[in-house]
Amino acid sequence: MANIATLLKAEIKKQTDKTVRDGLRPLAKQLREEKKRVAELEREVARLSKSLAKGGPAAASTAAKSSAWSGKTVTNLRKKHELSQNALAKLLGVGINTVWLWEQGRTSPRAKQRDGIAALENLSSLQMRRRLTKVGLSVGKSKPGRKPGSKNKKAVIRRKR
Q: What pLDDT, on a 0 to 100 scale, did the predictor assign at position 98? A: 92
Q: For residue 114, how many other CB atoms are within 10 A of its CB?
A: 20
**pLDDT for res 158:** 56
Calculate the alpha carbon distances from 28 to 21, 33, 34 in Å: 10, 9, 10
- pLDDT value at residue 143: 53
Phi, psi of 123 (to 5 degrees): -85, 150
Q: Kind and range of the H or E element at 64? A: helix 57-66
pLDDT digits (tens, 9 = 90+) for 110-143: 888 888 888 888 888 888 888 888 888 766 555 5
CA atoms of 40 and 98, how far apart (whole Å)? 40
**Cα dihedral 65, 67, 68, 69 sign:** negative
pLDDT in tens, 2-53: 788 899 999 999 999 999 999 999 999 999 999 999 999 999 999 888 888 8
| Predicted local confidence at residue 59, as pLDDT | 47
Q: Which of 75, 81, 77, 71 is nearest to 140 (CA)?
A: 81
Give pTM, 2 decimals: 0.46
What value does the mean pLDDT take over residues 84-110? 90
The better pLDDT of the pair 136, 101 is held by 101
Report the share of the chain in percent with pLDDT over 70.
76
